[in-house]
């Protein structure tokens, strides 16, 4: 399993954000996938969708519950992980790598600064 790299940013909804210039890639954290249990279905966002922070980007369903995916920042969906349609369990086995969910092109790059650092996120999950 990939471990969270220090350059990642996080949200209180247990998502990770990998900032790559004008775009970000996002997924859910290892903590989140463990809490969900075996993921059986991912309702992925639509390419071209325009979102602002807190908007729904889709849903992740496990054998025991359903969890929403929220947009951490404003932007346009430019890529989705098509592998998740047939292998949603990639979210369990490799949440920071092959289990990524989608990519957004940032419309307000400054919003990245509002995301949590790794230290701040770890403080949430261990409290």
Partner 1 sequence: MTGTSSTESPMQHTPLYDSHVRLGAKMAEFGGWSMPIAYPTGTIAEHLACRSDAVMFDVSHLGTVRVAGARAFEQLQSALSNDLRKIGPGRAQYTHLLDEADGSVLDDIIVWWVDDDVFDVMPNASNTDRVVAAIGGRDTTSGRAVIAVQGPNAHAQLAELCPAAADVGRFRVQRVIWQGNELMVAGTGYTGERGVEIAVPAGAAERLWDELAAAGVMPAGLGARDTLRLEAGLPLHGHELGPGITPLQAGLGWVIGWNKPSFRGREALAREQAAGIQRRLVGIATQGRRPPREHSDVRVDGQTIGSVTSGNYSPTLEHGIALAFVPPEVVLGQAVTIDVRGSDLPGTVTATSFLP
Residues that bind partner 1 (CB under 8 A): 37-38, 40-41, 43, 59, 61, 63-64, 66, 88-89, 92
Complex with partner 1: residue 59 or 108, whichever CB lies closer: 59
Complex with partner 1: residue 60 or 73, whichever CB lies closer: 60
With 0-12 / 13-18 / 19 or more C-beta atoms within 10 angstroms meaning exposed / middle / buried, residue 15 is buried
Shortest reach from residue 61's CB to partner 1, in Å: 5
Complex with partner 1: residue 34 or 108, whichever CB lies closer: 34
How far apart (Å, rounded) are the C-alpha atoms in residues 86 and 89?
9
How far apart (Å, rounded) are the C-alpha atoms in residues 9 and 121?
8
């Amino acid at each position: 399993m990939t471990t969270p790299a220090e350059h990642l940013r996080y949200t209180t909804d247990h998502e990770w954000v990998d900032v790559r210039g004008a775009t970000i890639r996002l997924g859910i954290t290892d903590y989140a996938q463990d809490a969900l249990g075996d993921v059986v279905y991912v309702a992925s966002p639509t390419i071209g969708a325009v979102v602002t922070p807190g908007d729904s980007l889709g849903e992740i369903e496990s054998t025991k519950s359903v969890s929403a995916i929220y947009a951490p920042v404003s932007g346009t969906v430019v890529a989705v992980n098509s592998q998740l349609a047939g292998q949603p369990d990639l979210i369990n086995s490799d949440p920071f790598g092959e289990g990524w969910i989608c990519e957004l092109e940032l419309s307000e790059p400054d919003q990245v600064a509002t995301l949590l650092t790794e230290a701040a996120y770890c403080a949430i999950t261990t409290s």
